[in-house]
Amino acid sequence: MKVAVVTGSARGIGYAIAKALEQADYTCVYSDIVPELDGVGHYVKCDISSEEDIKTLAETVYKKFGRVDMLVNNAGVAPDVRLDILETTRESFKRLININLEGTFFMCQTFANLMIKQDSPGARIINISSISSYTSSIMRGEYCISKAGVSMVTKLFAHRLAEHGIGVFEIQPGIILTDMTAPVREKYEELINEGLTPIKRFGEPKDVADCVLAIADGHLDFATGQVLNADGGFHLRRL
């Protein structure tokens, strides 16, 4: 039995990832901030900004299954209000750093220690960041900074866990059609049609889930620290 934990999996990208892992014969533990989630086999509520919640999630999964083979850190938030960086509030900045960056770091730390404890080389951690980790977006600077931090978290844990046979990877989604991008759908649709991405369509949650499956299948185990771009070619520098 292979066990996967996917945060932020009540909807959107996280839900698609969890479903894909189940189809790949993983026993998947869904996790999110909603009290309960219907229609799934295993669910544990967890706010990754809470030290206690992270501890409870890890202990619950380990007690029930005795192992964790895959952790997908997908949980994250966007600013409640998009503000120019000249107007960004400390409250918004702290909220995004606390959830997106600090939460991801300590999820990695907590579950890495479990993976080491179970002495099972081949376990994997995947952090879902964003093209915003390297792309300037002055109307949501705090989001960009939090995701840039996630990129370094990936590098640090890939380095630290290599000796234990635990691979750590990053997936950078581009413009994915989710609730998060719904408020600016028309803007992005116009930009895509104008050539923002070589592949002229919105990404779908499945596009990110497919990248997770490539890692879960073990084909990238010698490429720890690798970044997969699920972005329709956005990352390409073009003339």
Residue 26 appears among annotated catalytic residues? no
**Is 238 inside a domain boundary?**
no
Contacts of 59 (CB under 8 A, 6+ apart): none
Domain assignment of residue 33, yes or no: yes
Per-residue pLDDT, 120: 76
DSSP for 199-210, written as a single string: S-S-B-HHHHHH
Q: Is residue 237 part of a domain?
A: no
Query: Tell me, what CATH number does 24's domain have?
Result: 3.40.50.720
The pair of three-digit structure tokens given for residue 79, joined into one six-digit string: 């600013």
What pLDDT is attached to residue 218? 94
Q: What is the pLDDT, as a whole number, of residue 50? A: 98
What burial letters (b/e) apply to 118-132, b meaning 16+ CB within 10 Å?
eebeebbbbbbbbbb
Q: Are 39 and 11 in contact (CB under 8 A)?
A: no
The reported pLDDT for the residue numbered 223 is: 98
Does residue 16 sit within a domain? yes
48 occurs within a structural domain: yes
236 within domain boundaries: no
pLDDT along the chain (239 residues), means of 10: 97 98 98 97 98 98 97 97 97 98 98 92 96 98 98 98 97 92 85 96 97 96 98 96
Instruction: Give the number of domains in the chain.
Output: 1
Task: Give strand ranges (E) for 130-236.
Answer: 167-173, 227-230
Q: Tell me, what DSSP letter sits at residue 234?
A: T
- From the list 15, 26, 43, 143, the catalytic residue is 143
Domain span at 85:
2-230
